Amino acid sequence: MRAPTLTDRIVFTGYRLLSGALSRLPGPLAEAVAWCLGILAGSILRIRRGVVDDNLAHAFPHETPAWRARVARGSYRHLVREALATARLTRLGSGAVARATDRRDYDLPRSLMEEGRGLVIFSGHLGNWEVGGAALPFQIGPTTAVGFRQRNPLFNRDVVESRKRHGLEIILRDEGPRPMLRALRAGRALALLGDQHAGHPGIWVEYFGRPASTARGPAVLAQRSGAPLVLGVTVRVPSRGSGPRYRTLFTRIAPPPPELDPEAAVHHVTQACQRVLEEHVREWPDQYFWHHKRWKWAPPPDAVPGALPEPSPGPAPDAD
């Protein structure tokens, strides 16, 4: 990894000072700050607002512009609110993360872990994926998380150390599949995100009725290791107490039909993962990270076999 530059150090120091101060705010004040910063980022500065609006228009073509605008504003507020919540929970330690999640939500992955074959946990940028990952070692046992290497080496070290404090073993994606397979063969859970543009190495599947280059890693790792595969998302729910509360929803992804060849099997499982994730995003659209160019490239003509279906309608239009 390269040595940090002066710019890296200045940016990181500013981030630590700001996040440290904000993470100590009382709950109601933190919510108010998140609301204001969300409006600033999304409606005044309009940071990546064009990307958000374009993604929502393609994902929810049957909704009204007012509905999509309301979801867009909510997604900015949610992103800031969860960044503050994550900083606060990280500062308070694993006990705070455990109290914010419900042990009963983890019955499915816990039972699969008892089989001793390891477990692949696929997730997406919905709700609070950092809280979801941090809860796994406490709720289900030994867990390895796969992450991206940050461009700023100081941010990278901070993120890795923060996740390790919650008991996670960390593998960076550019380290390749071998350490991931070793973790699964050792009976560990392997958690990884897979809902962003995957470029040339990706496989083309449908997401909200549009072909998208998608990471094949979860399907390939499950196929090579024999570990079961589940999709899990951790979403924010109303809380009666002083701190945030989360629900983690798990769905087992069925193995592919045995008659499929390996590449077709990977396509089948990857498509199944994206369909389940899409269902969750439709239920909590304002908790999704719409700020990423998910449909960055158009696919080659033969990338997705067959005709693409019409996107299914989302929730009923709501007045702004």
pLDDT, position 304: 54
CA distance linking residue 54 with residue 312, whole number of Å: 17
pLDDT, position 192: 96
Give how far Cα 172 sits from Cα of 120, 129, 164, 175, 252, Å: 16, 16, 13, 6, 25
- When pLDDT is averaged across residues 152-169 and rounded to a whole number, the result is 89
Residue with more model confidence, 249 or 174: 249
pLDDT, position 298: 87
pLDDT in tens, 171-205: 999 899 999 999 999 999 999 999 999 998 899 99
pLDDT, position 23: 78
- When pLDDT is averaged across residues 126-154 and rounded to a whole number, the result is 93
CA distance linking residue 291 with residue 279, whole number of Å: 19
pLDDT at 319 over 70: no
Q: What is the percent of the chain with per-residue pLDDT over 90, rounded to a whole number?
A: 68
Average pLDDT, the chain: 89
pLDDT, position 242: 65
Residue of 315, 232, 223 whose CA lies nearest to 273: 232
pLDDT in tens, 276-298: 999 999 999 999 999 999 999 98
pLDDT, position 300: 82
Residue of 82, 68, 2 whose CA lies nearest to 35: 82
pLDDT at 308 over 60: no
CA distance linking residue 179 with residue 171, whole number of Å: 7
Judged by average pLDDT, the poorest of 45-54, 60-69, 81-90 is 81-90
pLDDT at 127 over 50: yes
CA dihedral 6, 12, 15, 16 (to 10 degrees): -120
pLDDT, position 289: 98
- pLDDT band at 40, cuts 50/70/90? very high
Contact 75, 288 (CB under 8 A): yes
- pLDDT band at 311, cuts 50/70/90? very low
pLDDT in tens, 2-24: 889 999 899 989 888 888 887 78
User: Residue 64: phi, psi to the nearest 5?
Assistant: -75, 155
Residue with more model confidence, 1 or 133: 133
Residue with more model confidence, 210 or 15: 210
pLDDT, position 307: 33
pLDDT at 55 over 90: yes
Residue with more model confidence, 26 or 44: 44
Residue with more model confidence, 73 or 158: 73
